[in-house]
A and B are shown apart, each in its own frame.
Chain A
Amino acid sequence: RGQHHHPTPKAMKAVILIGGLDILRPLTLSLPQPLIEFCNKTLLMHQLEALKAAGVNDVVLCVHEKNLPKSWNDVITKYEMDLGLRMQCSIEKSSLGTAGPLKLAESLITNDGSSQEPFFVLNGDVLCSFPLRDMLHVHVQHKGCGTVMTTWNDEPSKYGVVVGNDKSGRIEHFVNRPETFVSNLINAGLYIFDPSIFSRLPSAGEKASMNEVLSQLATEENLYHFESKGYWVKMTDVRTFLSAVGPQLEMTRLLHGADLAPHSGAPVPPTTMIVGNVLIDQTAVIGDDCKLGPDVVIGPKCVLGNGVRLESTTVMSGVQVDAHAVIHDSVIGWNSHVGSWAWVTSSVLAEDVAVKLGTLLNGVTVLPHKELSVSVREPRIII
């Protein structure tokens, strides 16, 4: 299954834990989560590109059976070809927790035991700056069996919390969901492990918690951490997904500023104002006298009429936004149509939603293929 590439020397493997969570509804009623576009590139592509840049050429996707669409093999083949990576799937049939899927994929990862090389593990619900090369550099310096990426967080009690040695980077304490304050440094859900980790995981097919495993490894003085200074967002719903756009575009501005509007993407008329960081696909069409941004993403083949105002909003491919409409803090799903003078705030529209002229939607989540012609002012799900 999949193409077989001859690995280059020091080529690495990686595991992406996609699992069974379906946190991006209602968008995932149309596409599986890894294929949802974040800043005009699928989540999977973000992860794969970051892995490839760190030297990875062989990726195992751990996916729950219920999240596999029929066309998954075709999708994977296309990614393999476009990126020059080998991709394989390990399919879970039951819920295996945060570490169980890793054990299940052991033979794929270790080439049936023949590979002793360290490998990356990424949690599929994490959006971040992916400082994987730096992390690898840290990992190969120490002799531990694993490196946990950590990040500073305001509300650490929800996560696995790390107390690390400032000089050596070794994890001295790892506490899962501490009730009293331990530290602000949390487990960011990205790891590099030696294959020795597999002996530390319960048998394949059993549920296991990564934070518990790490807790144990930390007491054995065998675990190190790498603190990422870049942005980090754990996606729990479309709102948190959207909140990562700002930091992601800011990172783009710092590293590849020319990729943002108006330097890149579809032509922007001189009467249209770009505010802050805005990403526009080159096949979009932008009207006159619009005001776009900050933190706006406009997907392929979108059409914006005159005088449109978008702020902190992602517009997926094929969306039409008619003249003088206003959209704040929202995601507009593929091929939707927002009518003139519509007012959409804090809302998520799934695929193919039509919003009639002048309609107001505030805090509304709309499932696919709906037409809205009556204003909705109180947060609601429209099914």
Chain B
Amino acid sequence: MKALILVGGFGTRLRPLTLSKPKPLVEFGNKVALLYQIEALVEFGVTEIVLAIAYPPNVMEDFILDVQKKHNIKIVCSQESEPLGTAGPIVYAKDVLRTNDPFFVINSDISSTFPLKELMAFHKQHKREASLVVTKVEEPSKYGVVVFEPDGKVVRFINKPKQYAGNYINAGIYILEPSVVERIPAGPSSMEKEIFPVMAQEGQLYCMPHAGYWLDIRTPKNHLLGMGKYVKHLRETNPAALSTHPAVVGDVIMDSSATIGKECVIGPDVVIGPDCVIEDGVHLERATLMQGCVIRKHSFVSDSIIGWRSTVGQWVRVENVTVLGEDVKLVDEIYVNGGLVLPHKVITSSVSEPKIIM
């Protein structure tokens, strides 16, 4: 069986991190984001994965070779030259996908559990053209809302409803029969706006609610929120993956190569990447530290992402969805409030109001 992962474009909403790496290769919970989808597909037994990307595949090359070798699976890229929306890439990749069987389509911008076996069993049972995973969220108006009957038959599919229509949304995980591809016109098009609503009317769309956690992680704020849900999920399903270091409070992922000083408080909801150095008296909460970060003494970091090989000086306070790009330095004793800092910058004075430092 095959799968298509919709990777999309430059990931500008995850800048400045995506100025250094393509969006799917940015780490989430100390693992390359795309690996969550790939590993779920490998576990299911998929033999070939197509990545639908909107940029040259050479930046993904090393990663792809690595994954192919490690998991004994074939990965190819379908490169779009213009943005094709959420449906366009599927028909565009038709020749690369080349299948007569139903195939998975997964959105790369989500952090979730992937109930693929259950979805396939559900799909075989109703025998219609498409099966969607749906998930319950608190703010459905930003997504595609799905109204369905108890057996999973979708009666209505409303994209970004202005009036309340229900809390279940399209989770971005589907199984499509090859016939769905025939429905999609060439060029840019949207599953949520054009394809799914029609299929719902025809009774060809079924959905399966999903009980696990789900979050779209396209923005730093959502990346951090998603991390909170992910570590909670680990606590329930694989607590050995969480850190038991004495400085830890709540759920924390800490790479074994990281070093932690004295009198630190780490957590809750913190990820510390490989080779990070946390000096004495540091307090981290709801923060992600990418590989090679240094947080110097007595500093306080909350609700922020510290990019690869960045250094936060002594007695610094970082908060409120600050994102430091790769190799950023914050000098001692400053305050950064919601700063988006581009790679290789040195910040020498406080940023008291959210802004972009270019």
Contacts and interface: CB of A to CB of B under 8 A. Distances in A.
A364 to B, nearest CB: 14
A307 B316 CA distance: 12
A377 B350 CA distance: 13
A343 interface: yes
Contacts of B265: 341
A358 B265 CA distance: 11
B102 interface: no
A189 B125 CA distance: 94
A343 B320 CA distance: 14
Interface string B324-352: 00000000010101000000000000001
A309 to B, nearest CB: 4
Nearest to B338: A377
Given A309-B333, A324-B263, A326-B333, A358 B297 contact: no
A302 interface: no
Given A289-B281, A326-B317, A341-B283, A306 B300 contact: no
B129 interface: no
Contact of A307 (B280, B335, B352): B280
A324 B280 CA distance: 10
Interface string B134-176: 0000000000000000000000000000000000000000000
B21 interface: no
B332 to A, nearest CB: 9
Interface string A346-358: 0000000000001
A323 interface: yes
A309 B337 CA distance: 19
A362 interface: yes
B263 A358 contact: no
A358 B286 CA distance: 13
Contacts of A306: 263, 281
A345 interface: yes
Contacts of A307: 263, 280-281, 297-298, 315
Given A324-B281, A360-B319, A377 B263 contact: no
A78 to B, nearest CB: 40
A346 to B, nearest CB: 10
A343 B280 CA distance: 17
B335 A324 contact: no
A64 interface: no
A289 B285 CA distance: 23
A330 interface: no
Interface in A146-204: none
Interface in B41-99: none
Most buried by A among B298, B319, B337: B298
Nearest to B317: A343
B243 interface: no
A320 interface: no
A324 B352 contact: no
A307 B279 CA distance: 12
Contacts of A358: 283, 285, 300, 302
Nearest to B319: A360
Interface residues of B, number: 17
A291 B315 contact: yes
A311 B302 CA distance: 23
A314 interface: no
A60 to B, nearest CB: 47
B280 A341 contact: no
Contacts of A289: 280-281, 297-298
A307 B265 CA distance: 14
Nearest to A290: B298
Contact of A324 (B285, B300, B302): B300
B300 A343 contact: yes
A313 interface: no
B333 A343 contact: no
B144 to A, nearest CB: 36
B337 A324 contact: no
Contacts of B333: 309, 311, 326
Interface in A287-328: 289, 291, 306-307, 309, 311, 323-324, 326
B281 A323 contact: yes
A340 B298 CA distance: 10
A362 B352 contact: yes
B337 A377 contact: yes
Contact of B283 (A324, A362, A377): A324
Interface string B267-302: 000000000000011010100000000000110101
A343 B335 contact: yes
Interface in B244-267: 263, 265
A226 B283 CA distance: 55
Contacts of A343: 300, 317, 335
Nearest to A340: B283
A362 B352 CA distance: 9
A342 to B, nearest CB: 9
Contacts of B298: 289, 307, 309, 324, 326, 341
Contacts of B281: 289, 306-307, 323-324
A323 B298 CA distance: 8
Contacts of A323: 263, 281
Contacts of B302: 358
Nearest to A362: B352
A308 to B, nearest CB: 8
B263 A326 contact: no
Given A324-B263, A341-B300, A345-B335, A360 B280 contact: no
Most buried by A among B302, B315, B319, B333: B315
Given A309-B315, A326-B333, A360-B319, 15 more contacts: A289-B297, A289-B298, A307-B263, A307-B281, A309-B298, A324-B283, A324-B300, A326-B315, A341-B265, A341-B283, A341-B298, A343-B300, A343-B317, A345-B335, A358-B285
30 contacts: A289-B280, A289-B281, A289-B297, A289-B298, A306-B263, A306-B281, A307-B263, A307-B298, A307-B315, A309-B333, A311-B333, A324-B263, A324-B281, A324-B283, A324-B297, A324-B298, A324-B315, A326-B317, A326-B333, A341-B283, A341-B300, A343-B317, A345-B335, A358-B283, A358-B285, A358-B302, A360-B319, A360-B335, A362-B352, A377-B352
Interface of A: 289, 291, 306-307, 309, 311, 323-324, 326, 340-341, 343, 345, 358, 360, 362, 377
Interface of B: 263, 265, 280-281, 283, 285, 297-298, 300, 302, 315, 317, 319, 333, 335, 337, 352
Which 10 pairs show the lowest CB-CB distances between chains A and B? A324-B298, A307-B298, A307-B281, A324-B281, A309-B315, A341-B300, A341-B283, A343-B317, A326-B315, A323-B281
